[in-house]
Structure 1
Amino acid sequence: MGKAEKVTEKVARTPEKAESPETLDTPESSETPDPLESPVVPVPPVAPAAETPTAPPVEAAPPAEITPERAVLLSSPALDAVDRERLLAGTHHDPHSVLGAHPLPGGVAFRVLRPFARSVTIVSGELRAELHDDGDGFFSGALPLRGVPEYRLVIAYEEQVQEIEDAYRLLPALGDLDLHLIGEGRHEELWRALGSEPMTHQGVTGTRFAVWAPNARGVRVIGGFNFWDGTAYPMRSLGSTGVWELFVPGVGEGELYKFEITRPDGSKTQRADPMARRTEVPPNTSSIVTSSHHEWEDAEWLARRAEVPAHEGPMSIYELHLASWRPGLTYRQLAEQLPAYVRDLGFTHVELMPVAEHPFGGSWGYQVTGFYAPTARLGTPDDFKYLVDALHRAGIGVLMDWVPAHFPRDEWALAEFDGRPLYEHEDPLRAAHPDWGTLEFDFGRREVRNFLVANAVYWCEEFHIDGLRVDAVASMLYLDYSREPGQWTSNEHGGRENLDAVAFLQEMNATMYRRVPGVVTIAEESTAWDGVTRATHHTGPGGFGGLGFGLKWNMGWMHDSLGYVQHDPVHRKHHHHEMTFSMVYAYSENYVLPISHDEVVHGKRSLVSKMPGDWWQQRATERAYLAFMWSHPGKQLLFMGQEFAQGAEWSEAHGPDWWLLDPAYGAEADHRGVRDLVRDLNTVYLDTPALWQQDTVPAGFEWLVGDAAEDNVFAFVRYDAEGVPLLSISNFSPVVRHDYRIGVPESVPAWQEALNTDALRYGGTDIHNAAPLKPDPQPWHGRPASIRATLPPLATVWLRPA
């Protein structure tokens, strides 16, 4: 028999008092004991985690003293064939029940699985016992101890000796409350429960790994710390939650890892952690153990941002793609340049195209595999926090594109994660996105909803993001989105609405506004769905509660207004209604007016290149259009490069054409002039509450000239909450209109120019109204008084009370 299998043939007398769980001491009896073979075998102590192939020799420790009075009959602790096979196959659901230390009648059994080890020794205080080699990497032994002691493992390999804690002597590092909330799909801080978390657990330093894989036959954690062989690191199933957990001592920040999952059919797959908070730089796909050490300095910003609701305050958004704004810059380098640039131009917010990790850069981040990890292309999660912090300290809010509608099919990521549809819908017709070759989330599964709702909270709480622009909402809301008859099935009421997606969006928004003061959610929703920005507890005409968003992209305004300005001025009179129709529904939702990245790619041309005419007319029309946009009800968003009239479409490969702003190029009257206009638009906008305070109520807007189709002229007045007006007049014809009569509010004794897009410094002809315009008593446009203004060609003029 092996050393650890030798047992005594005497049964010990039961002691009168319980002893502490350590090696049994010598009894007080003076009788000479019979010789006993002890399973405790003295071995030389071994240096922990040797850096070199051999450890220096040390003196042997004396054997632990065990007497026949305290000896008991011990059974063999070696594992049976079934458990051995399941552990080696990676299909054991409860490895902690057979590995580690476990009480036996009269002692404690120790079992260890360490493939390729030459020997394994138990070390506890003065006790050192070499376990028996049971083959296939299994080691076992039984010691006549009264209880399970604290112990360590000394593992000798061919060229290395390690002293480590035994992961299988520890209790689960997830609590009952965590498991209950996960099971209910209500864990709003899911990132704290699942994924990898460095911690000290039961006095041991290491990392807790946890993953949701309810269909798996077994899960093992693999990584650089075990040479990507998970045999010795099987995880335990934590019951009906479908969560698998393992605390691995000695593993810390920076370690690479994945989960090796045994599918229901017995095949294996290696998957990145769905909850990973840091990843390798693509195309590498491993997850990385991480902790945050960033110390925030934006407390003043966070305290202030909740003072005014987003739809009642000023919001001028600069949209950008971080990786290509200044190609090659890291998060920290961007923090040195981006805040200063955005602040100089007067934008109140930036909107970042998706930051979450994605394998293909050409997707611009809209096909996400790492929903909890900022892309590693630009730095670490703490580096991204540093950028957000810098923007906040500059007084700039940070919005981020969030993509909960779909995910790519990469075999190392979420698709059929544990061998069966898990994050995607089990019905293939519901799972496959017809446009993008991706998979749609199963919004009806509570764990999937929890994954996404917690993810929204995560970005705003952990990274201090001020708002999420939710991508592709329409594709979530409709079961027949981009599907032909026969490719979709109706909901339980016979309708086309995706009731699961509706419930998810309502839960996400309600949770966000409850947990994160001052946050705003913005929907990219391209249909006429009723109540996108209505509160979730208010039911609309369609019978649905509101979706609960704070703002919605006004895709109709964008489509119509761009359509109008792309026509030659001589034909614009036939499309006049395209510029006025938005006011028919302007107060049905809380709107953002978006000129986004989607409008300057894929052959749509850049904003200035959409405009007809020669180069001067193109720039003049863009300037007039931007001022019209800034004065129209709704917040405004402009994509990078359009602020200086870049002629080329955006490309993620090289970003904006910054060289156009170089004085050596002679850009003062061209591109720099448009950029100067954008700066002045934002300056006047912020200083004029009439342009933003009543964006969402009819009292904030009044048409003065809405039907002058032959003239290509539009004029309206905006009011702040105190009734102070600003008059916006746009002339989208290439001719000067002298003494153009416009009816005006009679309460204003005189009007003066606040902004004129035809100013010489913007590249215009400098036709303007130099003197204040005093109203005449002549009625016009239904008003008792009117002014006669000079309207520059292809220009917008703002007038305010003198």
Structure 2
Amino acid sequence: MTARKPSRKSPEPIEVPPAPQPVTTEVGAPAPDPVAPPPAKRARARKTAAAPPRPRRGGGGKGVLPATALDDGDRGRLLAGEHHAPHDVLGAHPAGGGVEFRVLRPFAHSVTVLAEELRAELQSDGDGFFSGVLPLPAVPAAYRLQVAYDDNTIEVEDPYRFLPALGELDLHLIGEGRHEELWKALGAQPMEHQGVPGTRFTLWAPNARGVRVAGDFNYWDGTAFPMRSLGSTGVWELFLPGVGEGAVYKFDICRPDGSHTQRADPMARHAEVPPATASVVAAPHHAWQDGDWMAHRGDRPVHESPFSVYEVHLPSWRPGLTYRQLASQLPSYVRELGFTHVELMPVSEHPFGGSWGYQVTGFYAPTSRMGTPDDFRFLVDALHAAGIGVLMDWVPAHFPRDDWALAEFDGRPLYEHSDPNRAAHPDWGTLEFDYGRTEVRNFLVANATYWCEEFHIDGLRVDAVASMLYLDYSREDGQWSPNEHGGRENLDAVAFLQEMNATVYRRNPGVVTIAEESTAWEGVTRPTDRGGLGFGLKWNMGWMHDSLVYIGKEPVHRKYHHDEMTFSMVYAYSENYVLPISHDEVVHGKQALVSKMPGDWWQQRANHRAYLGFMWAHPGKQLLFMGQEFAQGAEWSEGHGPDWWLLDPAYEASGDHLGVRTLVKDLNAVYGALPALWQRDTSPEGFAWIDGGAAEDNAFAFVRYDADGSPLLAVSHFSPVVRHDYRIGVPDGPEAWVEVLNTDAARYGGGDVHNEEPLKPEAVPAHGRETSVTLTLPPLATVWFRPA
């Protein structure tokens, strides 16, 4: 919001009310406290205002005694914005003969103290300082200031009469790096303090010489609002009465070299819409309706549950929609397709939309591009009401270098490592966090729990874990130094990830953390008490890469790459895996999934359908990026999102795409109904090859088992021919097998080659089994069978 200038009015004698309220200019908006330069300089330019006018001395009301002269050092430090203890100098303090008042209000003509029945004008000491000793027996419990400017007079509370609004326990936990609810201690917190509504501003900036609050409530001149340092923790604090929700602000930091920088709040819960960069005072008001969901989401371990994920880039899923508009469309679409979860690409505030959210500046603020934090809560609530879990991409690996954000925040490396080689991320031009610094680790661990607790997020997919784990990640010899044991492991990052996972799981039952980790690091999903990193699931990048290599080959060449599809079973139970076909695989020249396939359009779609059938039957959970559920042929672009027009009946080939979407809907429905496909994803007893070596046929046959031993038979055939009387061995027990899903069905756009009658086992050995069946294999198709 933009502060409105108070109307010009000559001051009248004021009777001090017994319970004064802050002056406001509009409903819910704090009155601006004009320590303002002339109107021409009131643009919201995030710069310190022009120098104050030439000092004026004298004045003072009747009965007001002169105050002790302000020490030149204090005066200079206050004007320079580098005072550590402004409350020791400003405000009201006992003095000989009464109570001494001192106020800093640049550009003011006069300041009058209103206390009980006393009205006393202070003396002007120049440079915007006003002081005087009032004949009071003690510092009044409450008083107000009447401040007169050239064109108006306002009545305000004195910020420097308030005690610290941050407790000793908070400071102790911050100092130890163990404040698990850090967002409740740092940042801008609307509150009532000493009976007065306002906002407590707190900031961690240990290298700063001084910090001031600047915002639309003081025309971006923080001279009159210096913060106090609270001991050795590096935390600065100031309670500003009358400032409330919607106020826009930054911190004016005096760096060690005496220069100033205005920074967005690292703990801001809301931010201006980019490209504007200031923080916004906010508080939650959403009334959650998902109590039943939250109470039962952890009833069954995630690795023993159906888990089928639709990955979404919210700004481009339906471009132009707000969070609340998305809430009326996204849940119903995802529910119709049968996905159990959505995964949202990063929603934390970021300045550059082309980064897709992976270069975060506001780690505690949902991007304001689509609405407020409460609007985002509304969307999560709507997804939960539809029975859909919400996963969120979380990016603790790096942050951008924007000079209004975290980089050299208080004039020295703070959030980043002090060693430039350790700080600079070699791939993305960003900075890496210093995981060895307790306060930085606390900032990130608390951030993980913040999203789970304040926004009811059901899981965090942690981006770029490999870049965190290795000191030599994308670095040449000489560009990195080994750890204390001579290795290349980043031990600080390991400790951070273990602490984050342990904290999230302890505080939030039912939440899952998922690692995007592209190496063979051992124990990514092993519990922390057994030396692992503690993630619940890990993206199987090896399966993704190998299977896409295979499926991209012409069928005649696939026999030479057969092991690309079988190798994943060698390590399938080393971790708890998710099989991802994510946004990364359909951008930057990699082509959309259907366009990776060889052959004509019919064969491309058939390959696409067969591949999805293989993916859903393979051990592991599934993730599919938006647009791939209906075989979009073009790469994804954040500028326009999925090509929804392909589903328009007016488009002559819309049936080709609707058929693939129908397949995805049926895959999810059958998947959810048959525990054999998910119940034993992490147990070797849940899978058995029937024939993993049919390279000449481009065929793969295997069986999945649920906890009771009930099987599901899956056969994938990646040749463009029909194979009749194809014999495979089957488990003993079932008297017949029936098709439960066939990706070549006509309703999916296939040729409708299928097995009409149940398959009767025969006492003919095959593939090391005593009984076998003969079936018809459709071209470029996956077929699932279950016992009749």
Pairwise TM-score range, normalised by the shorter structure = over 0.9
Q: Name the counterpart of 2:644.
A: 658
* CA displacement at 1:669 relative to structure 2: 3.5
* TM-score normalised by the chain length of structure 1: 0.91
Q: Is the 8 A contact 1:77 1:111 kept in 2?
A: no
Structure-2 separation of matches of 1:75 and 1:229: 28
* CA displacement at 1:666 relative to structure 2: 2.6
The structure 2 residue matched to 1:136, chosen from 123, 127, 137, is 127
Matching of residues 413-452 of structure 1 within 5 Å: 413-452=405-444
Q: Name the counterpart of 1:622.
A: 608
Q: Greater shift after overlay, 467-476 or 75-84?
A: 75-84
Rg larger in structure: 1
Q: Secondary structure at the match of 1:425?
A: coil
Q: Name the counterpart of 1:467.
A: 459
Matching of residues 738-753 of structure 1 within 5 Å: 738-753=724-739
* CA displacement at 1:412 relative to structure 2: 0.3
1:256 pairs with 2:256: no
Structure-1 separation of matches of 2:226 and 2:66: 25
* CA displacement at 1:151 relative to structure 2: 0.9
Structure-2 separation of matches of 1:288 and 1:314: 40
1:700 pairs with 2:692: no
Q: Name the counterpart of 1:590.
A: 576
The structure 2 residue matched to 1:168, chosen from 143, 156, 160, is 160
The structure 2 residue matched to 1:347, chosen from 330, 339, 347, is 339
Matching of residues 791-802 of structure 1 within 5 Å: 791-802=777-788
Q: Deviations over 1:565-612 (max 9, x none)?
A: 000000000000000000000000000000000000000000000000
Structure-1 separation of matches of 2:111 and 2:597: 77
Structure-2 separation of matches of 1:613 and 1:50: 69
Q: Secondary structure at the match of 2:329?
A: helix
Which stretches in structure 2 are left out of the alignment for 5+ residues?
Answer: 17-62
Structure 2 residue identity aligned to 1:723: G
Q: Name the counterpart of 2:630.
A: 644
Matching of residues 237-256 of structure 1 within 5 Å: 237-256=229-248
Q: Secondary structure at the match of 1:120?
A: strand
Structure-1 separation of matches of 2:373 and 2:5: 32
Structure 2 residue identity aligned to 1:415: A
Structure-2 separation of matches of 1:263 and 1:546: 40
Identity value in percent: 77
Q: Secondary structure at the match of 1:206?
A: strand
Structure-2 separation of matches of 1:429 and 1:615: 49
* CA displacement at 1:750 relative to structure 2: 0.3
Matching of residues 307-322 of structure 1 within 5 Å: 307-322=299-314
Matching of residues 315-334 of structure 1 within 5 Å: 315-334=307-326
Structure-2 separation of matches of 1:704 and 1:289: 61
Which stretches in structure 1 are left out of the alignment for 5+ residues?
Answer: 1-48, 62-71, 539-544
Structure-1 separation of matches of 2:360 and 2:72: 43
Structure 2 residue identity aligned to 1:581: F
Q: Name the counterpart of 1:227.
A: 219
1:186 pairs with 2:178: yes
Q: Secondary structure at the match of 1:407?
A: coil
* CA displacement at 1:755 relative to structure 2: 0.2
Q: Deviations over 1:462-487 (max 9, x none)?
A: 00000000000000000000000000
Structure 1 residue identity aligned to 2:444: L
* CA displacement at 1:58 relative to structure 2: 4.6
The structure 2 residue matched to 1:118, chosen from 109, 118, 130, is 109
Alignment RMSD: 1.3
Matching of residues 72-91 of structure 1 within 5 Å: 76-91=67-82
Structure-1 separation of matches of 2:67 and 2:301: 70
Q: Name the counterpart of 2:586.
A: 600
Q: Name the counterpart of 1:581.
A: 567
Structure-1 separation of matches of 2:751 and 2:175: 67
Q: Secondary structure at the match of 1:669?
A: helix
The structure 2 residue matched to 1:93, chosen from 84, 87, 97, is 84
Structure 2 residue identity aligned to 1:528: A
Structure 2 residue identity aligned to 1:708: A
Q: Deviations over 1:91-118 (max 9, x none)?
A: 1000000000011134211000000111
Structure-2 separation of matches of 1:750 and 1:259: 72
Q: Name the counterpart of 1:9.
A: none
Structure-2 separation of matches of 1:140 and 1:282: 42
1:682 pairs with 2:668: yes
Q: Secondary structure at the match of 2:642?
A: coil
Q: Greater shift after overlay, 560-569 or 98-107?
A: 98-107
1:217 pairs with 2:217: no
Structure 2 residue identity aligned to 1:426: S
Q: Secondary structure at the match of 2:183?
A: helix
1:356 pairs with 2:311: no
Q: Name the counterpart of 2:8.
A: 53
Q: Deviations over 1:104-142 (max 9, x none)?
A: 134211000000111101111111111000001000000
Q: Secondary structure at the match of 1:663?
A: coil
Q: Secondary structure at the match of 2:506?
A: helix
Q: Is the 8 A contact 2:100 2:133 kept in 1?
A: yes
Structure-1 separation of matches of 2:322 and 2:298: 30
1:561 pairs with 2:552: no
Call closer, same or farther: CA 1:283–1:467 in 2, change over 3 Å: same
* CA displacement at 1:735 relative to structure 2: 0.6
Matching of residues 689-728 of structure 1 within 5 Å: 689-728=675-714
Q: Secondary structure at the match of 1:121?
A: strand
Structure-2 separation of matches of 1:111 and 1:318: 60
Q: Is the 8 A contact 1:406 1:440 kept in 2?
A: yes
Q: Greater shift after overlay, 162-171 or 546-555?
A: 162-171
Matching of residues 774-793 of structure 1 within 5 Å: 774-793=760-779
Q: Secondary structure at the match of 1:108?
A: strand
* CA displacement at 1:453 relative to structure 2: 0.3
Question: Aligned residue pairs: how many?
Answer: 738
Q: Secondary structure at the match of 2:334?
A: helix
Q: Secondary structure at the match of 1:205?
A: strand
* CA displacement at 1:299 relative to structure 2: 0.6
Q: Secondary structure at the match of 2:520?
A: coil
Q: Secondary structure at the match of 2:779?
A: coil
Q: Is the 8 A contact 2:15 2:117 kept in 1?
A: no
